[in-house]
Amino acid sequence: MHTVRSESSTVPVATKWWSPVDLTPGYFALVMGTGIVSVALHLCGYPAASEVLLAIAVVAYIVLVALNFWRIIAYPAAVMSDLTDIAQSFGFFTFVAGSGVIGSRLAMAGWWTPAAVLLIVAAVSWLFLGYIVPVVAVLGRAERPIIKGANGLWFIWVVGAQSVAMLSATLEPILTEAREILAITAIFAWSLGLILYVAVAMFVALRLMTFPLDPREFNPPYWISMGALAITVVAAARIAEMASAPMVDATRGLVAGMAVLLWCFATWLIPALFGVGIWRHAIHRVPLKYEPSLWSIVFPLGMYSVAGIYLGRVNELPIVETIGTAWLWVAVAAWVLTFIAMLRAIVLRIIRRR
């Protein structure tokens, strides 16, 4: 193996093709996208394919957790730089959402204990990041206006909250001893996520209407605006199925009704988002190439499928369930294309560095 010599050491070239310093905080979107497509496949009766994607999601989750710990220890300045970057800092919430989504899929497979552990991880990290990210990224920076940095990635804050609600509602029928606390957690996280969606949507809309928008800036994370609605629908459908409890009984009708309205809004957003993609790549010729943020498209597509299936089954809406079932193949196609593009990008990077 060829080596590169420096004053301090001799390092194999092969070890230089990538470093954790390059890891983006939003890479857990890989886990989110893979996990939710696995859920959709399971609901539609494709257990083998679903288990393959579940295995990929679990491996990706473990690897990304290890790499992020490595990055925190070895490159704390890079982590702090991401945390103080208003355009990137909300990407840390992909860890929360990834934990919640993969926990929900494990619960469907009967892995209750790992799912419960992931719920604790997701809830604690969401609360921690929910205070740290806004304080550091917004209040901790002197430059103004902060609104100029608002983008689609901010909706991950909402997805994190709804992933906690979804997993809490999923575990509520199983963990009977903790049923009351799970019901409260699900309603609390769902309600807070809904309010945060309105707030984030206002910030992003204000940014779009106030400042010039370069087509390169209208990147894949804007799809999360639809994914946040879809996961809110799924969490609402799961809450509507929960057993009687004071918090659930007080909100069941509201939550069930909001689920239908939010599904309609998510459906309306899809053509608009596809139109933005045409505007960006066909009209303004922004190259379509692999970047980690592409997983931010896979997740909303998969989540929209799951939302239609759950909402249709819980509220007895056959047409909604049919749409969700058919949409599965759009999500699967997006996952396959993005996964192949990711592998290709990794191989090409290794070859170029060698």
CATH class, range 14-353: mainly alpha
Say if residues 128 and 161 touch (Cβ distance below 8 Å): no
- If you average pLDDT over every residue of the chain, what do you get? 87
Cis peptide before 300 (omega within 30 of 0): no
Residue 142 pLDDT greater than 50, yes or no: yes
E strand segments, the chain: 3-5, 10-12
CA-angle at 330, arms to 63 and 165, nearest 5°: 55
Q: Convert the pLDDT of each residue in 113-134 to its tens digit.
A: 999 999 999 999 999 999 998 8
Q: Which residue has the higher pLDDT, 200 or 288?
A: 200
Q: Convert the pLDDT of each residue in 219-228 to its tens digit.
A: 888 899 999 9
Mean pLDDT of 227-246: 89
Lowest mean pLDDT among 151-160, 281-290, 298-307: 281-290
Length of the chain: 354
Rounded to a whole number of angstroms, the CA Rg of the chain reads 20
Task: List the structure tokens of 61.
Answer: 């989750």
Mean pLDDT of 31-40: 96
Q: Where are the domains of the chain?
A: 14-353
Q: How many CB atoms lie within 10 A of CB 288?
A: 12
Q: Convert the pLDDT of each residue in 37-63 to its tens digit.
A: 999 999 999 999 999 999 999 999 999
